Structures are given as C-alpha cells and as structure tokens.
Amino acid sequence: MDLSRILTFASALVNTGYVPLRSRCNVVIETSSICNLSCRFCPAGQAHRVLDRQNRFIPDAWFHRIIELTRGLAEEYILHNFGEAALNPKICDYMAGLPDCRFALSSNLNFSARTARQLAAAPNLTVACALDVLSPDLYARYRRGGRLETALDNLRILLAGTCRVRVILFQNGEKNMAREVYGSDFPEDTQLQARARAFAREYGIPEQDILMNRMNSYWQGMEINPAPHPGRVCDALYFGLYFNSDGYQVPCCENVGRDLYLRHIEDIRDPADLLNGPPVRAFRRGLHWNKHRYSSCRACPGNPYTLNRLRRLLGQAPPLPSRPLSDC
Ligand code: SF4
C-alpha cells in the first residue's frame, strides 16, 4: 500500500471526511444510461426505467471536464455504470483521448461485429463481458431482448483482439434471487462453477478472468426490493469517484436518488474541490456515520471497507471463503 492509501484508510477510519490530494482511485463515468436490453434486475432496462436521471449518452463537454479534473487522480477509468457504454458512438474517441492509464467497461455484448472489432483493438482496455448465464433459455429469460449467440460471436472477436477480456457469470445470490427470477430450475452453484470452468477451457479464457457474480437487487423501484439492510457504514466515497450520465458526482455505483447527488460537474472548481470540497466531506462523513440517513441507501448493504479491513488485520473477521473461480 502506498502512503496516500494508508492516509486515506486512516482518514476513513476516524471519519475526517478528507482524502489526500495525491491519492489515486478508480474513476467511474457513466458514458451511457441508454441500453438496448431490458434485463430483469437492471434499473436502466426498458421494463423498469427507474434510473433517477435521463436516458442519454453523457454530453461531450461534461465527459471532457470530468477527465480534466481527474487526470492526476485516476488509477483506472471505468467507462460504464448503468446502460450499455458501447452504444455511445463516441466511446472509442473517448478511449483514444484518455490519459495513459488503464480503462475498463462492462458490456452485454449485444451489438454489431463492427463495434466489437473497435473495442477489440483498444490496447489498455478491459472489457467485462456480462454474459451472466450460459444456456440460451436462461439467457432469454434474464437478458430480455438479447441473444446469447450474438454475445458469444462478439466475445470471440474480443478474445482475438488486444483488449483484456473478463467474463461475468452468475452464481446464486445470498437471498437466492436467481431462483426467484428463473424458477427452481436455476442450477446449483457447484453446477454453475463446473459449467464456468468448461466454458473457460472452451474459449481459452484464464480461470481468474471468469468472475462469478452474485445476483442481488437493492436498486430502488425494482420488482424485488428487500427489506432495509441492517448495515450502517459506507466508505464508498472515500475510495472512488463516480459520475452519472447527467453530469452529477454521486457516492457509488448504485442507482442512488437525488438525496445523494453531490454536485454537478460544472459546479466543481478544481481537483482539490472535487476531492475535499465541503459538500463532499459532509457526504463522506454522513455515509460513514450512518448511511440510513439517506433513503437511497435503505436496502443497500453499504461498503464498510475500512472496518472490515481493520477486523481482518485484528484477526476478527471470518476467513474469506475460498472460491475456485474469481469472485467480484
Ligand atoms: S450504502 Fe450503498 S447506495 Fe449508499 S452510498 Fe453506500 S454503496 Fe451507495
């Protein structure tokens, strides 16, 4: 850990609200909140339309202003949040103009082979390919409007290119969301992991690049909205910078409402103001102290990163479960 990370960690632990100016973090920019699919749990899907913002591609001026402000702060740029980033016609121009650092986006891969070839040629790009399920029947039920065949064709194109490819697949969620969506025929985790391994072998993908994600849903306004989560602490805003497609800085990558819109990018003066301006510090401290003061956080478990880390250092946290495939 470098010094700025140690200082950030210490600052979050005592909840000063500050992060060091030299700190580096992931910068998440929602380049598109438009999507071509209507997946069951996604708030951007056409069936739900519960994103508390416009469905649009981020305007050019706001994208470039975010880059200008975060140029010295970004460890990695993540160019998606909700919506399908590859639909943004400027996405390749944006990547070409980014500072020399890593960048990533997640994609449903339901687009033209031409778009896939453009992404495949990007050298510093990681594409997280959200396939989720591998059977055409389950895929059609979850990825409404998508075609597994198209996604797999585009996956092959990406694998032949210079970008790094990771594949996201589901395992059952802690509340067994998968069974609620798919019914009792959704496979057990052991079956899912065996299928994922066979898939990795077939496509020549290293096992560490297969991410077994849990299906859950605590986005506001979704069909299955679990009860308030008992967790109180969230440190997400100490460790990342997030911007939605309407140009607002938000504290995390969840579908937060306006109670957690920090500021608009046009109202941020400089990197110091972005990191440690009074509104940002107040939100950081409030979320660490008790996230339940914000209605957007009601059902979210939060991100108690520093407390978990401290418990682990003190040997009090339960050991991490060992999973044969990467967990994200
Ligand atoms: S508690 Fe959840 S919704 Fe609230 S800021 Fe943290 S990650 Fe975002």
Token code pair at residue 69: 């402000």
| Residue whose token pair is 């198209």 | 150
State the pLDDT confidence band at 100, using cuts at 50, 70 and 90.
confident
pLDDT at residue 90 is higher than 60? yes
- % residues pLDDT > 70 (the chain): 85
Between CA 315 and CA 156 the distance in angstroms is 44
Q: What is the DSSP string of 237-278?
A: HHHEEEE-TTSEEESSSS---GGG--EEGGG--SHHHHHH-H
| Residue whose token pair is 């979704």 | 222
Candidate of 220, 225, 254 to mutate for ligand 1, largest count of ligand atoms within 8 Å of Cβ: 254
Between CA 216 and CA 51 the distance in angstroms is 17
- Give the chain's mean pLDDT: 85
pLDDT at residue 27 is higher than 90? yes
Q: Which residues contact 16 (CB under 8 A, 6 or more apart)?
A: 285
Residues 17, 278 contacting (CB under 8 angstroms) = no
- Residue among 84, 94, 27, 24 nearest 59 (CA): 94
Nearest-CA residue for atom 4 of ligand 1 = 297
pLDDT at residue 106 is higher than 90? yes
Nearest-CA residue for atom 8 of ligand 1 = 252
Q: What is the pLDDT of residue 288?
A: 94
pLDDT at residue 179 is higher than 80? no
Check if 120 has its Cβ closer than 6 Å to any atom of ligand 1: no
Check if 303 has its Cβ closer than 6 Å to any atom of ligand 1: yes
pLDDT at residue 76 is higher than 50? yes
pTM above 0.85, yes or no: yes
Q: Which atom of ligand 1 is nearest to the CA of 252?
A: 8
CA of 95 to the centre of ligand 1 (A): 28
Q: What is the pLDDT of residue 323?
A: 43
Q: What is the pLDDT of residue 316?
A: 67
Check if 299 has its Cβ closer than 6 Å to any atom of ligand 1: no
Of the two residues 315 and 240, the one the predictor is more confident about is: 240
CA of 80 to the centre of ligand 1 (A): 17
Q: What is the pLDDT of residue 170?
A: 81
Check if 116 has its Cβ closer than 6 Å to any atom of ligand 1: no
Instruction: Report the relative pairing of strands 25-29 and 74-78 from DSSP bridges.
Output: parallel
Question: Starting from the edge strand earliest in sequence, which strands make up the sheet with 125-132, in order?
Answer: 263-264, 248-250, 240-243, 25-29, 74-78, 102-107, 125-132, 164-171, 210-214, 326-327
Check if 302 has its Cβ closer than 6 Å to any atom of ligand 1: yes
Q: What is the pLDDT of residue 318?
A: 52
| Residue whose token pair is 């030299």 | 22
Count, residues in the chain = 328
Residue 299's H or E segment, with its range, is none
Sign of the torsion formed by the C-alpha atoms of 288, 290, 295 and 300: positive
Q: What is the pLDDT of residue 161?
A: 96
CA of 263 to the centre of ligand 1 (A): 16
pLDDT at residue 328 is higher than 50? no
CA of 11 to the centre of ligand 1 (A): 19
Note the pLDDT tens digit of each residue in 274-312.
999 999 999 999 999 999 999 888 878 888 888 887 887
pLDDT at residue 326 is higher than 60? no
Helix (H, G, I), strand (E, B) or coil at 126: strand
State the pLDDT confidence band at 44, using cuts at 50, 70 and 90.
confident
Token code pair at residue 88: 């943004």
Q: What is the pLDDT of residue 142?
A: 79
Q: What is the pLDDT of residue 43?
A: 75
Nearest-CA residue for atom 3 of ligand 1 = 297
Between CA 155 and CA 168 the distance in angstroms is 12
Q: What is the pLDDT of residue 140?
A: 86
Sign of the torsion formed by the C-alpha atoms of 266, 270, 274 and 277: negative
- 130 - beta bridge partners? 168
Q: Which atom of ligand 1 is nearest to the CA of 253?
A: 8
Note the pLDDT tens digit of each residue in 46-68.
555 566 777 899 999 999 999 99
State the pLDDT confidence band at 317, using cuts at 50, 70 and 90.
low
Q: What is the pLDDT of residue 221?
A: 46
Q: What is the pLDDT of residue 102?
A: 87
Check if 297 has its Cβ closer than 6 Å to any atom of ligand 1: yes
Residues 177, 224 contacting (CB under 8 angstroms) = yes
- 76 - beta bridge partners? 26, 102
CA of 264 to the centre of ligand 1 (A): 19
| Residue whose token pair is 């290293």 | 206
Q: What is the pLDDT of residue 2?
A: 79
CA distances in angstroms from 266 to 29, 43, 44, 247, listed in the order given: 15, 26, 24, 8
Residues 75, 60 contacting (CB under 8 angstroms) = no
Residues 69, 268 contacting (CB under 8 angstroms) = yes
| Residue whose token pair is 């025929």 | 185
- Of 15-29, 111-125, 290-304, the least confident: 290-304
Q: What is the pLDDT of residue 269?
A: 97
Candidate of 300, 305, 308 to mutate for ligand 1, largest count of ligand atoms within 8 Å of Cβ: 300
Q: What is the rounded radius of gyration, in angstroms, for the C-alpha atoms of the chain?
A: 20
Residues 104, 122 contacting (CB under 8 angstroms) = no
Q: What is the pLDDT of residue 250?
A: 96
Note the pLDDT tens digit of each residue in 193-221.
888 999 999 999 999 999 987 765 544 44
